Chains A and B, each alone.
Chain A
Amino acid sequence: GENVEQHPSTLSVQEGDSAVIKCTYSDSASNYFPWYKQELGKGPQLIIDIRSNVGEKKDQRIAVTLNKTAKHFSLHITETQPEDSAVYFCAASSIDSWGKLQFGAGTQVVVTP
């Protein structure tokens, strides 16, 4: 089955700097890669996703890149703000296992003013 590894487990950045979180996956059949943000006391919320036919996707300060050959994808947050502090999860799934998301272990991001 799919295995998703996520690094780093914690990330501390100065406000205004960029943050990068990296994930690798094992199943070459995976074709959908969402990123979720989880704030304290809340469920994960989708912030951006990418499908295997696209190499990069951007939404304001957030971008995701995908390298299918190397089986890794990354989340980039530019101009970080205190409200970006949260736990971020990457995930992967394939069309053969529709809806069966495999999550990474999560990254605690702390943005210091």
Chain B
Amino acid sequence: EAQVTQNPRYLITVTGKKLTVTCSQNMNHEYMSWYRQDPGLGLRQIYYSMNVEVTDKGDVPEGYKVSRKEKRNFPLILESPSPNQTSLYFCASSSADDNQPQHFGDGTRLSIL
């Protein structure tokens, strides 16, 4: 089954404790992206990657890091989480063909206390 898998699905942690949210896709997609979803703001892009070892900032990259060492994986790293990073996070992937639809994971709800 074609899917985007995020882990963990839920996490409550404290300010300053480094955390990583993993994202994996099994569709051999070139493009992967991270979004955060906040009430009234829709989905805002954090970082995206066009292919292995190619990453770029989205609209709200501050406080986040990403890496793309393998085509299927695109982890999101919060080196020193803060309460304003409490949010619902989604990973997405798509083919490199012109504007192919993005497939989303089921989300990771992060609470930073």
B contact residues around A102 at 8 Å (CB)? 45
Considering only CB atoms, which chain B residue lies closest to A106 in the complex? B42
- Please give the residue numbers on chain A whose beta carbons come within 8 Å of chain B beta carbons, in ascending order: 1, 4, 6, 9, 31-32, 34, 36, 41-46, 49, 51, 89, 93, 95, 98-106
B28 within 8 A of A: no
Are A45 and B104 in contact, CB atoms less than 8 angstroms apart?
Answer: yes
Closest CB of chain B to A93's CB: distance in Å?
6
- Cα distance A102–B104 in the bound complex, in angstroms: 15
B contact residues around A95 at 8 Å (CB)? 98-99
- Cα distance A42–B58 in the bound complex, in angstroms: 22
Closest CB of chain B to A79's CB: distance in Å?
25
Are B42 and A6 in contact, CB atoms less than 8 angstroms apart?
Answer: yes
Closest CB of chain B to A100's CB: distance in Å?
7
Q: Which of B42, B58, B102 contacts A104 (CB 8 A)?
A: B42
Considering only CB atoms, which chain A residue lies closest to B6 in the complex? A43
B43 within 8 A of A: yes
A contact residues around B50 at 8 Å (CB)? 98-99
B74 within 8 A of A: no
Q: Which of B31, B41, B90 contacts A44 (CB 8 A)?
A: B90
Considering only CB atoms, which chain B residue lies closest to A41 in the complex? B106
B contact residues around A32 at 8 Å (CB)? 98-99
